[in-house]
Chains A and B, each alone.
Chain A
């Protein structure tokens, strides 16, 4: 028994090392990841280091971007969250009714929204709407020599273009998530109140009792991480565009696909860490 285990362990380690070395070898030639990490480092430099050397980023630009990225997305986010709340409540009611446990519908809606559905679905909406818009805008600027012009005017594109979008996204995605959670819970209430004859006070009470503050905070941390992923991928895709209008289109598509994948994988990892890690 034991020798077989050891053999598996050795073989497993060997395979893992080979896999890891292949990945590293591949990444060394893969400028995409290098560029992406470089953008992240640049971003951190311009946010945390440069202001202390007297190179401030433009605060008014951040507010402008907050309107583009966040405020204009509120109707879509509200509609999505409301639909999700209603759907969750309907499915929960259907299943729980068979057990005579409709009383738990608010718990399920609340916890699912706070922990998973809220952050993930709102990130999906923001990727489709704001992430793609940022990638396309920066890509068009790159193609029409605007980025080069900024560089020649000694204005750093990361400082001037990426930092405001990054900070705006970092504020607005969690804010949209909070709003979406409210609207989703309201959707659950609509189902419970009109179809299951809950009274409003009862719904609110159950919903509040079921949720922990950690449920809310974990969702907020998730959406902040998603914001980081979404906006850096979108900006990176935009700044690396080559080859005219076709390139802009490809970069926009790539940014949406990459951001979605990265966001969903990260979500799985974070759920694992937050709720099943300790």
Chain B
């Protein structure tokens, strides 16, 4: 079924109290694509991801994943869908009480009826893919942040998912490991036909792996298209973001003036901190 999209988001809106975090977003992702979602911190990227994987319910709109509507599903149906995709969390989100090997084995133990030998073999193979052979018996607390992230990737890939979500897969990795992880994503998507949705700030890696890109800002899609279209986009916000410039049309909340209208309730962090930590004042 090459025509049916893996993910289809239509008119997605999410409001928290009086703040609109996602404002009427629609897009679709086809099989084998690698979609990169970009945008400044706090622009709703993670919230969007959480809606797609079904852990948050939208205010209105629809999210179809593998052709099935996930917003109206009960927990059991969501669990069935989740068995078909993997997700890499920003911090890795490894279980601290299990070793690295046990973490990677967890989805296999829980969702398959494989023998221990088969599971061990898969664990070894997945850890090898992310360059962590021989780390099976360490606890997550004993390895670095970048390693945790790679173990998280190995765990997300343990069940050979059709779809992979990555929340900042390369932040905190050194340039060489970033390239390794990117190549792994490329290999899985281009050769094995996996679909990937990647949220990232890392422009080098984004242009390396993307087949399509979306840029979010203030809850809206500012721009979308192929990497080439994004690179040559006339939109000033896009250009500022991909070139990493401090000056430009994207508001940064750096100046005092923006808070002027509620100056009378302006918090005074130093005073609060002094009270809390008993700083010496004299």
**Could you list which residues of chain A lie within 8 angstroms of chain B, going by C-beta atoms?**
137, 140-141, 144-146, 148-156, 160
- Asked if A154 and B96 sit within 8 Å, CB to CB, the answer is no
- Give the residue of A144, A150, A152 whose beta carbon is less than 8 angstroms from that of B91: A144
- Judge whether B203 is part of the interface by a CB distance below 8 angstroms: no
Chain A residue at smallest Cβ distance from B107:
A153
Residue of B nearest to A152 (CB): B87
Chain A binder among B3-11, B13-21, B78-86, B252-260: B78-86
Is the C-beta of B38 less than 8 angstroms from some C-beta in chain A? Answer: no
| Per-position 1/0 for B90-131, Cβ under 8 A of A | 110111110000000011001100000000000000000000
- B153, CB-defined interface residue at 8 Å: no
Contact A141 B95 (CB under 8 A): yes
Contact A153–B96 (Cβ < 8 Å): no
Chain B residues lying within 8 Å of A160, measured Cβ to Cβ, are 110
Q: 15 other contacts beyond A144-B91, A146-B96, with CB at 8 A cut-off? A: A141-B96, A144-B93, A145-B91, A145-B93, A146-B93, A146-B95, A149-B89, A152-B53, A152-B82, A152-B87, A153-B106, A154-B82, A154-B111, A155-B107, A156-B79
CB of A132, distance to nearest CB on chain B (Å): 17
10 contacts between A and B (CB under 8 A): A141-B96, A146-B94, A148-B89, A149-B95, A152-B87, A153-B107, A154-B80, A154-B111, A155-B107, A155-B110
Chain B residue, CB-CB nearest to A149? B93
User: Which partner residue on chain B sits nearest A156 by CB separation?
Assistant: B79
Chain B residues in 8 Å Cβ range of A146: 93-96
How long is the Cα–Cα vector from A153 to B91 in the complex, in angstroms?
Answer: 16
A156 to chain B: which residues have CB within 8 Å?
Answer: 75, 79
Q: In the complex, what residues of B have CB within 8 A of residue A148's CB?
A: 55, 89, 93
Complex interface bits, B49-66 against A, C-beta within 8 A gives 1, otherwise 0:
000010100000000000
> In the bound complex, do residue A153 and residue B89 qualify as a contact, i.e. CB atoms below 8 Å apart?
no
A156 to B79: give the CA distance in the assembly, Å: 8
* C-alpha spacing A224/B44, complex, angstroms: 47
Contacting pair A145 B89 (CB below 8 A): yes
B81 closest partner in A (C-beta): A154
Q: How far is the CB of B65 from chain A (nearest CB, A)?
A: 13
CA distance A156 to B91 in the complex (A): 20
Closest 6 CB pairs of A and B: A149-B93, A154-B82, A145-B93, A154-B79, A152-B87, A154-B83
Residues of the B chain whose Cβ atoms lie less than 8 Å from the Cβ of A154: 79-80, 82-83, 110-111
With a cutoff of 8 Å between Cβ atoms, the chain B residues found around residue A152 in the complex are 53, 55, 82, 87
**B:158-213 near A, CB below 8 Å:** none
Q: How far is the CA of A141 from the CA of B93 in the complex (A)?
A: 9
Which residues in A have their C-beta under 8 angstroms from that of B96?
140-141, 144, 146
C-alpha spacing A150/B110, complex, angstroms: 11
Determine the chain B residues whose CB is within 8 A of the CB of A145 once the complex forms: 89-91, 93
Flag if A155 contacts B55 (CB, 8 Å).
Answer: no
Contacts of A144 in B (CB 8 A): 91, 93, 96
CA distance A149 to B165 in the complex (A): 12
Flag if B110 contacts A153 (CB, 8 Å): yes
Bound-state Cα–Cα, A144 to B90, Å: 10
- Which residues of chain B have C-beta atoms less than 8 A from A151's C-beta? 55, 82
Which of A146, A148, A154, A160 has its CB near the most chain B CB atoms (within 10 A)? Answer: A154
How many angstroms between the C-alpha atoms of A153 and B107 in the bound complex? Answer: 7
Query: In the complex the two chains form, what is the Cα distance from A237 to B265 in whole Å?
Result: 33
- Which chain A residues border B53 with CB–CB below 8 Å? 152
A159 nearest CB neighbor, chain B only: B110
Interchain nearest-CB distance for A68 vs B (Å): 10
**Smallest distance from the beta carbon of A246 to chain B beta carbons, Å?**
11
- What is the minimal beta-carbon distance from A164 to any residue of chain B, in angstroms? 12
Cα–Cα, bound, A154→B75 (Å) = 9
Q: Which residues of B contact A149 (CB under 8 A)?
A: 87, 89, 93-95
Q: Bound state CA distance, A149 and B95, in angstroms?
A: 9
Distance from B17 Cβ to chain A, minimum over Cβ atoms (Å): 16
Name the A residues within 8 Å of B75 (CB-CB). 156
Which of the listed residues A140, A144, A149, A151 has the most CB atoms from chain B within 10 Å of its own CB? A149
What is the bound-complex CA distance between A154 and B53, given in angstroms? 11
What A residues does B82 contact at CB under 8 A?
151-154
**Closest residue on chain A to residue B80 by CB atoms:** A154
Q: Report the Cα distance A153→B89, complex, angstroms.
A: 11
- Shortest B230–chain A CB gap in Å is 28
For B107, the chain A residues whose CB sits under 8 A away are 153, 155
B122 → A minimal CB distance (Å): 15
Residue of A nearest to B82 (CB): A154
Q: Which residues of A contact B97 (CB under 8 A)?
A: 137
Interface centre among B90, B97, B110 (most CB of A within 10 A): B110
- B71 to chain A: closest CB distance in Å? 16
Most buried by B among A140, A145, A156: A145
Complex Cα spacing A149 to B75, Å: 15
What residues of chain A lie closer than 8 Å to B155, measured between beta carbons?
A: 153
Interchain CA distance A144-B145 in the complex, whole Å: 13
- Closest B residue to A153 by beta carbon equals B107
Most A C-beta atoms less than 10 A away, residue of B75, B83, B95: B95
